[in-house]
Chains A and B, each alone.
Chain A
Amino acid sequence: MYAFDFVKPATLSDAVAAMEQEGAQALAGGQTLLPTMKQRLNAPDILISLNGIAELRGVRREEDALVIGAATTHTEVARDAAADYPGLAALAGQIGDPSVRNRGTLGGSVANNDPSACYPAAVLGSGATIATSKREIAADDFFQGMFATALDDDELITAIRFPIPHKAAYAKFHQPASRFALTGAFVANFGDGVRVAITGASEEGVFRWTEAEAALSDNFDAAALDGLTLPAKGMIGDLHGTPEYRAHLVAVMTRRAVAAAR
């Protein structure tokens, strides 16, 4: 790693102030950022740890939504969201492995927007709202392609507000080495509509499969997806799967998520 200064503010306002410095970079769980820095692919001058800020942590119920602090770990979400939003909790419990889940955070994952990460599917699939140090951003506006988001350089995610659907589930097909999603489908049925978000598959990052949403909104049953396919064009092709295979998996995983939704 290149050398950098390390600061660990205790309050959000101190963190926001620190982020205004030249070369500042927020450090959440670090499970992606630190390996990248070890490869010298990322060279912040100042690393600002968000791990000492109590107000960024925790899961709380607010009416029909679950509000989760950005620095809440995957382990905490898997445990503390289980009663209110089991589909989301189950997704968090499948990220990485237990040790990674003890460090990795919701905010870190969403801000990074890895095209194969699990959380973006839940955020987009839930129609969540991303609260930042500056504003609130709807999930539909937040994700802007591989590793790209609506965040400004000095903007921090503070919490994410997940509307709680009637039923939801995430079906993940693992990329076997990294344990990210080769393809993952998050399906949420809100009663007045269904959202389907797909991760791991598209060269544009997480996306909503609107044809599936329409079909499932009429009939929330895996059979409603019969015959529905996605074109392979625009899907990721790599060692682990061709675009055709990923397009196929999108349909399979979506069906499985519908069947598993509760």
Chain B
Amino acid sequence: MNTISMTVNGKTVSAEAEGRTLLSGFLREGLGLTGTHVGCDTSQCGACVVHVDGKPVKSCSVLAMDVAGSEIRTIEGMANSDGSLNAIQQAFQDHHGLQCGFCTPGMVMAAAALLAENPRPTEAEIRDYLEGNICRCTGYQNIVKAVMAASGQDVSEMSAIAAQ
């Protein structure tokens, strides 16, 4: 066992880790931050996406010791400082961008990374960027819509034609 330290959501934390401890396991078991989920074992699904030094990575495919000393941001660190949902989170709620909620933390983290590098992405750019995040519930439409809305774009064209 080794004690490793990193900054997680702005706080310096230390916990025990083996060489084989994955960042996802370190966050979930070591720090109790269970918002980061593990949905596969082949680095495909993206439920485990967190930011390492500002960049999204799949925390199930990164060793905790390899990112010791880094700045980590997880879904638990995404809300506004008063605890309210941030613009992306709020857009996911407003546009029904989640159902079972399991892929959602990874989706929000990926979406935040996208908007940081591309503040007004097109629908195609969003779909392309989210190719590493699998959602089984939503068919992605409302996720794409939420990301567009979070970037301040008009999403009325993407609304389903629904009768009330």
A interface residues with partner B (beta carbon < 8 Å)? 1-6, 8, 27, 30-31, 34-35, 37-39, 47, 49, 51, 75, 96-100, 102-103, 177-179
B103 contacts A by Cβ under 8 Å: no
Q: What's the nearest-Cβ distance from chain A to residue B5, in Å?
A: 14
Flag if B46 contacts A30 (CB, 8 Å).
no
Q: What's the nearest-Cβ distance from chain B to residue A79, in Å?
A: 10
Can you name 25 A-B residue pairings with CB atoms under 8 Å?
A: A4-B20, A30-B62, A30-B63, A31-B43, A34-B43, A34-B61, A34-B62, A35-B61, A47-B19, A51-B66, A97-B46, A97-B133, A98-B56, A98-B110, A98-B113, A98-B132, A99-B49, A99-B56, A99-B132, A100-B43, A100-B58, A103-B58, A103-B61, A103-B62, A179-B132
Q: Which residues of B contact A1 (CB under 8 A)?
A: 20
Q: Which residues of B contact A177 (CB under 8 A)?
A: 44
Q: What's the nearest-Cβ distance from chain A to residue B52, in Å?
A: 8
- Per-position 1/0 for B35-49, Cβ under 8 A of A: 000000111101001
B72 contacts A by Cβ under 8 Å: no
Q: Which residues of B contact A178 (CB under 8 A)?
A: 42, 44
Flag if B65 contacts A6 (CB, 8 Å).
yes
Q: Which residues of A contact B132 (CB under 8 A)?
A: 96-100, 179
* CB contact between B56 and one of A31, A37, A102, A179 (< 8 Å): that residue: A102
B interface residues with partner A (beta carbon < 8 Å)? 2, 18-20, 22, 41-44, 46, 49, 52, 55-58, 61-63, 65-66, 110, 113-114, 129, 131-133
Flag if B66 contacts A30 (CB, 8 Å).
yes
Q: Which residues of A contact B20 (CB under 8 A)?
A: 1-4, 6, 37
Q: Which residues of B contact A31 (CB under 8 A)?
A: 43, 58, 61
Q: Which residues of B contact A96 (CB under 8 A)?
A: 43, 132
Flag if A103 contacts B65 (CB, 8 Å).
no
Q: What's the nearest-Cβ distance from chain A to residue B4, in Å?
A: 10
Instruction: Compute how far the CA of A261 lies from the CA of B65 in the bound complex, rounded to whole angstroms.
Output: 42
Instruction: Compute how far the CA of A51 lies from the CA of B132 in the bound complex, rounded to whole angstroms.
Output: 22
Chain B binding surface SS class: mixed
Q: Which residues of B contact A34 (CB under 8 A)?
A: 22, 43, 61-63
Chain A binding surface SS class: loop
Flag if B41 contacts A38 (CB, 8 Å).
yes
Q: Which residues of A contact B42 (CB under 8 A)?
A: 35, 178
Q: Which residues of A contact B114 (CB under 8 A)?
A: 98
B117's nearest neighbour on chain A, judged by CB, is A98
Q: What's the nearest-Cβ distance from chain A to residue B15, in Å?
A: 15
Instruction: Compute how far the CA of A3 lies from the CA of B1 in the bound complex, rounded to whole angstroms.
Output: 11
The 7 A-B residue pairs with the shortest CB-CB distance in the complex, in nearest-first order: A97-B132, A6-B19, A1-B20, A102-B55, A99-B56, A99-B58, A6-B65
Q: Which residues of A contact B133 (CB under 8 A)?
A: 97
A37's nearest neighbour on chain B, judged by CB, is B20
Interface centre among B49, B63, B133 (most CB of A within 10 A): B63
Flag if A97 contacts B66 (CB, 8 Å).
no
Instruction: Compute how far the CA of A3 lies from the CA of B44 in the bound complex, rounded to whole angstroms.
Output: 24
Flag if B41 contacts A3 (CB, 8 Å).
no
Q: Which residues of A contact B65 (CB under 8 A)?
A: 6, 8, 49
Flag if B131 contacts A179 (CB, 8 Å).
yes
Q: What's the nearest-Cβ distance from chain A to residue B24, in Å?
A: 11
Q: Which residues of B contact A3 (CB under 8 A)?
A: 18-20
A4's nearest neighbour on chain B, judged by CB, is B19
Q: What's the nearest-Cβ distance from chain A to residue B22, in Å?
A: 7
Q: What's the nearest-Cβ distance from chain A to residue B111, in Å?
A: 11
Instruction: Compute how far the CA of A178 lies from the CA of B132 in the bound complex, rounded to whole angstroms.
Output: 10
Flag if A8 contacts B131 (CB, 8 Å).
no
Q: What's the nearest-Cβ distance from chain B to residue A214, in Å?
A: 36
Q: What's the nearest-Cβ distance from chain B to residue A73, in Å?
A: 9
Q: Which residues of B contact A5 (CB under 8 A)?
A: 19
Q: Which residues of A contact B58 (CB under 8 A)?
A: 31, 99-100, 103
Instruction: Compute how far the CA of A34 lies from the CA of B63 in the bound complex, rounded to whole angstroms.
Output: 8
A49's nearest neighbour on chain B, judged by CB, is B66
